[in-house]
Amino acid sequence: MTGTFFPQPIFEGAEKRLELDFELACRSVEEVMVVESADSDSEASCGLRTLKEAEWNKLLQPAECCIVSSKSNGYCDAYLLSESSLFVYESRVVLKTCGRTKILDAVPGIVSAALENQQIGLKLRRAKYSRSAFKCPEQQPEPHTNFSLEVEALNGLFGHLKGGGHAYVLGDQVSNALWHVYTAGQVQEMIMESRIAKEDLMTLEICMTGLDSKYCEQFTCDANSNLKGTKKKLRTESGIEKMLGSQEAIDDYVFDPCGYSLNSVKGETLVTIHITPEDSFSYASIEVCGIKRSEDFDSNAFVQLVADLFKPQSLYVVATCDGFASALEWCDCKLGHSEPGAGSGQMFEKLFSANQVMTRYGNCAFHAFASDGVREEFGSGNMAAKLDKPPFSPITVLREDGMSFSDSSSSGSSEEAQRDETLLPLSESDMDTNFVKRVRADTIETSNCVERYAGCKIRELGLEDTFYVFDLGNVYRRMKTWQRLLPRVKPFYAVKCNPDPGVLSTLASLGTGFDCASQMELESVLSLGVSPDSVVYANACKRPSDLRHMRQTGTLLTTFDSESELLKIKQYHPSAQVVLRIRADDPNARCYLGNKYGAETYEVEHLLRKTIELGLNLVGVSFHVGSGASDPEAFRMAIGLARQVFNAALALGITTMDLLDIGGGFSGGTGDGTEALGKVARVIRASLDKHFGEEGRYRIIAEPGRYFSEGACSLFTCVYGKRRREEKMEYWLTDGLYGSMNCVIYDHAKLAPKPFFLKSSAPVEDLDLYSSTLFGPTCDGLDTVLKDVMMPRLDNGDWIIFPAMGAYTISAASNFNGISACDPQIFYVVSKTE
């Protein structure tokens, strides 16, 4: 889940690299040395290697990357990541992540895992962060947008280490051929004093842009997402094998549709290669790390080999020594002067070399080359300018905190938006918008400004296809309303209702739990950093793989309503906390569920006995009155029924029950939720007081879906075809029953279309209305959104708004007929009031 909800025309190949060295907590240096040498002989994993793949995956979540495969040798566990690589030694971690990853967000977790795990007990000794220049720094998440912000963040994380933090920028500022390094902490004191205790280890990093496109073609999949040959063949033919020499463990991965990553280890030395082959932003990095100074390694020959293969337009070489040997001497990089030889014949000009001795931390040398004639390829700034379109419109280039509508980089068209006074943010914030995470959101004054905002977007971006505006301010106010009206009930948002990452992350930071029913839903929630304790797997009939996945992720709470489900749980996830779902439904609900889920009263006793017999941990009772329930009395009956189940369980000697889950079924609609919840909340509070009154004795949760997401999302569709049939008008819209309007079929939704942003200049109220039919875009007669609605005369390019379209719309859309309706463009806003 790496920011795929924004247009990302450029992939940032350049990696952020973090190296963390640890030492045993509360031991003297001498002991550390003894332990370190003892460790390398033993076969069993020690130190950080005690942590296994699943744990690392969790630790990497905040950085927004995950493990795709792994290989190990006696020294190191090497993980290939969705974005680059992770190497774990007993007391050292090397983490490289590319794209828009948030590498620093993973640090606190790793550091505390190292210290707090009883079997590890390591504390951080020193840290090093480095990177080259980004092509599009403005697309990076903070603090990576510029180095000073990064240094501030790094000092926050590492500044306390003995020796303090230091930051260096090497290279040419004008052409943006730069290398950034931050270090904190120091070489072990004993080594510093004696200068001989440990052999210096060298690292060679090569970064290249403007790669030879013929060469890059090898690292793409064919149209069927298949590799063109075997990976072994690819390694041989691409010359990568030659680069590796004899390695012990090779692990490589070809991404679909393109991209290549490789890890390999030999002894303590690691090699890692990452290739982003796309022509307009090609990038490759090659690192050899942990080479002993005394080892026979010809760094110049290695660089020449790499340069001949990739034929890059620009090439950086960074040599680093973690001790006292000179990195510059070890790698003086004569590349520019060597003869073309058997290679491409491409000549490289050395632009400059820089040498940096780092305070108490070794030293590094930085060399920059350009292939003859092409030097402007260097530099991040020009890159974006060279593209036809800016990466995304200035107005959406807004800060992560979601508060600033006017960004320093905005220009032209966004000034127009700023003059539009309803769009200006309040000078004083009466609302803490820190809850907006992971997505960029523009601030608007009231929820009524959504239409205006959409109008600006249409004009500014020339939109012509379906899009949504999600008002996260509305989600926020609905949470406040919930807490006010149902203070005893903790909401667990039903992900299926709308799994949009902006909605999920907003709810997560407002402190809701989540109701998941599949592996994908659970993954998307956990990847936000939500604890498995805040998840109820409220699918009463799970597939074996779902149960295994629950178990793997440490998710415990789940519902059941049959004996067969209990047997499955016993088999696949015996430590689960099970919740008996009973049938207690409102027969008038918009979506009736009682036919499929919920144990009948006469089945309850048998199921209770079965949980005892199987030794399962029964923790409570749940129900769902049906989605879009209309009668608050359904909750009164259901809570009463749940009490009877608690009593029956007690009579059987079950004393473990403390959870009541009152399910979903709350109304959506527009507004801050007071209207939706008011009446039903009163009934629920009274019933809870009556049946579950004992303060502190019960955990009460609910699984609202519609309540949180329906009103927050407005759908905008464009008219792109029209016809007149006698007195009636017919229009074609960019969205239909196979897209978001599937809610007409599955969710019995009543749509309320509103013409909007018409080309006609007359006020909408004054226009004559005609009976109209609205068609969806697929070639199916069924795809008729509405018939005989009264509409003013519309033109191609006019728009229609469908408000309150956040529930059961996108989540069930399909791409039928090749019309992609599953991931429409989404704009996030935060309105300050309704």
Ligand X SMILES: *Cc1c(COP(=O)(O)O)cnc(C)c1O
* 273 vs 629 by CB, closer to ligand X: 629
User: Do the bridges between strand 577-581 and strand 617-622 make them parallel or antiparallel, or are there none, so unpaired?
Assistant: parallel
* 317 vs 629 by CB, closer to ligand X: 629
Number of residues that bind ligand X (CB under 6 A): 16
How far apart, in whole angstroms, are the C-alpha atoms of residue 333 and residue 299?
A: 8
Q: Provide the minimum distance between the beta carbon of 471 and ligand X in the complex, in angstroms, as a whole number.
A: 18
For 38, residues 6+ apart whose C-beta sits below 8 A from its C-beta are none
CA distances from 619 to 231, 486, 649 (A): 50, 22, 10
Q: Provide the minimum distance between the beta carbon of 485 and ligand X in the complex, in angstroms, as a whole number.
A: 15
Query: Could you tell me if 127 and 183 are in contact, meaning their C-beta atoms sit under 8 angstroms apart?
Result: yes
How far apart, in whole angstroms, are the C-alpha atoms of residue 327 and residue 408?
A: 40
How far apart, in whole angstroms, are the C-alpha atoms of residue 282 and residue 259?
A: 10
* 129 vs 707 by CB, closer to ligand X: 707
Can residue 557 be called a binding residue for ligand X (CB under 6 A)? no
* 34 vs 745 by CB, closer to ligand X: 745
Can residue 666 be called a binding residue for ligand X (CB under 6 A)? yes
CA end-to-end span of the chain: 31
Q: Provide the minimum distance between the beta carbon of 463 and ligand X in the complex, in angstroms, as a whole number.
A: 29
Closest Cα to residue 79, out of 252, 278, 315? 252
Can residue 287 be called a binding residue for ligand X (CB under 6 A)? no
Q: Provide the minimum distance between the beta carbon of 664 and ligand X in the complex, in angstroms, as a whole number.
A: 3
- Enumerate residues 251-270 that contact ligand X by CB under 6 A: none
Q: Provide the minimum distance between the beta carbon of 516 and ligand X in the complex, in angstroms, as a whole number.
A: 10
* 635 vs 757 by CB, closer to ligand X: 635
Which of helix, strand or coil describes residue 676?
helix
Q: Provide the minimum distance between the beta carbon of 427 and ligand X in the complex, in angstroms, as a whole number.
A: 37
Tokens of 448: 């009524």
* 445 vs 710 by CB, closer to ligand X: 710
Query: Could you tell me if 253 and 260 are in contact, meaning their C-beta atoms sit under 8 angstroms apart?
Result: yes
How far apart, in whole angstroms, are the C-alpha atoms of residue 79 and residue 98?
A: 14
Binding segment toward ligand X, per CB under 6 A, in 86-94, 161-169, 324-332, 491-499: 491-499
Instruction: Give the x-and-dash track for 449-488 against ligand X (CB under 6 A).
Output: ----------------------------------------
- Enumerate residues 314-353 that contact ligand X by CB under 6 A: none
How far apart, in whole angstroms, are the C-alpha atoms of residue 483 and residue 677?
A: 11
Can residue 627 be called a binding residue for ligand X (CB under 6 A)? yes
Tokens of 803: 């408000």
Radius of gyration of the chain (CA): 30
Q: Would you say how long the chain is, in residues?
A: 834
How far apart, in whole angstroms, are the C-alpha atoms of residue 581 and residue 642?
A: 9
User: Do the bridges between strand 799-802 and strand 754-756 make them parallel or antiparallel, or are there none, so unpaired?
Assistant: antiparallel
Query: Could you tell me if 805 and 753 are in contact, meaning their C-beta atoms sit under 8 angstroms apart?
Result: no
Query: Could you tell me if 468 and 713 are in contact, meaning their C-beta atoms sit under 8 angstroms apart?
Result: yes
For 422, residues 6+ apart whose C-beta sits below 8 A from its C-beta are 444, 445, 446, 449, 452
Can residue 703 be called a binding residue for ligand X (CB under 6 A)? yes
Residue with token string 């070794």: 362
Binding segment toward ligand X, per CB under 6 A, in 349-357, 489-497, 741-749, 790-798: 489-497
Binding segment toward ligand X, per CB under 6 A, in 185-193, 221-229, 631-639, 702-710: 702-710
Q: Provide the minimum distance between the beta carbon of 540 and ligand X in the complex, in angstroms, as a whole number.
A: 7
* 56 vs 537 by CB, closer to ligand X: 537
Residue with token string 């207690």: 584
Query: Could you tell me if 667 and 628 are in contact, meaning their C-beta atoms sit under 8 angstroms apart?
Result: yes
Is 779 among the residues known to form the active site?
yes
* 365 vs 645 by CB, closer to ligand X: 645
Closest Cα to residue 114, out of 45, 177, 49? 49
Binding segment toward ligand X, per CB under 6 A, in 160-168, 343-351, 476-484, 490-498: 490-498
Instruction: Give the x-and-dash track for 503-532 against ligand X (CB under 6 A).
Output: ------------x-----------------
Binding segment toward ligand X, per CB under 6 A, in 59-67, 292-300, 313-321, 660-668: 660-668
Which of 47, 312, 502, 705 binds ligand X (CB under 6 A)? It is: 705
Tokens of 203: 């690292």
Tokens of 271: 């090699």
Q: Provide the minimum distance between the beta carbon of 676 and ligand X in the complex, in angstroms, as a whole number.
A: 11
How far apart, in whole angstroms, are the C-alpha atoms of residue 132 and residue 315?
A: 11
Binding segment toward ligand X, per CB under 6 A, in 313-321, 347-355, 605-613, 701-709: 701-709
Amino acid letter, 543: R
Instruction: Give the x-and-dash track for 732-761 against ligand X (CB under 6 A).
Output: ------------------------------
What are φ and ψ of residue 359, in 5° steps?
Answer: -55, 120
Query: Could you tell me if 590 and 627 are in contact, meaning their C-beta atoms sit under 8 angstroms apart?
Result: yes
How far apart, in whole angstroms, are the C-alpha atoms of residue 546 and residue 542?
A: 6
Can residue 496 be called a binding residue for ligand X (CB under 6 A)? yes
Which of 365, 494, 525, 557 binds ligand X (CB under 6 A)? It is: 494
* 367 vs 542 by CB, closer to ligand X: 542
Q: Provide the minimum distance between the beta carbon of 708 and ligand X in the complex, in angstroms, as a whole number.
A: 8
CA torsion through residues 686, 692, 694, 698, sign: negative
Closest Cα to residue 18, out of 79, 116, 92, 82? 92
54, 59, 61, 62 alpha-carbon torsion, rounded to 10° = 170
For 309, residues 6+ apart whose C-beta sits below 8 A from its C-beta are 215, 238, 239, 243
Which of 100, 438, 706, 832 binds ligand X (CB under 6 A)? It is: 706
Catalytic residue selected from 46, 364, 541, 779: 779
Q: Provide the minimum distance between the beta carbon of 538 and ligand X in the complex, in angstroms, as a whole number.
A: 4
Q: Provide the minimum distance between the beta carbon of 545 and ligand X in the complex, in angstroms, as a whole number.
A: 19
* 210 vs 704 by CB, closer to ligand X: 704
* 47 vs 704 by CB, closer to ligand X: 704
* 276 vs 558 by CB, closer to ligand X: 558
- Enumerate residues 46-65 that contact ligand X by CB under 6 A: none
Query: 524-528: long-range contacts at Cβ-Cβ below 8 A with a sequence spacing of 24 or more?
Result: 524/1, 524/495, 524/499, 525/495, 526/58, 526/61, 526/553, 527/1, 527/61, 527/64, 527/66, 528/438, 528/501, 528/504
Binding segment toward ligand X, per CB under 6 A, in 385-393, 457-465, 547-555, 664-672: 664-672
Binding segment toward ligand X, per CB under 6 A, in 44-52, 437-445, 703-711, 795-803: 703-711
Binding segment toward ligand X, per CB under 6 A, in 100-108, 543-551, 661-669, 735-743: 661-669
Which of 664, 755, 776, 803 binds ligand X (CB under 6 A)? It is: 664
* 171 vs 668 by CB, closer to ligand X: 668
Can residue 828 be called a binding residue for ligand X (CB under 6 A)? no
Which of 290, 663, 806, 824 binds ligand X (CB under 6 A)? It is: 663
Q: Hey, which residues does 722 pair with through a beta bridge?
A: 731
Please, where are the H alpha helices in 597-632?
601-614
Residue ranges in contact with ligand X by CB under 6 A: 494, 496-497, 515, 538, 624, 627, 663-666, 703-707
Q: What are the catalytic residues?
A: 779
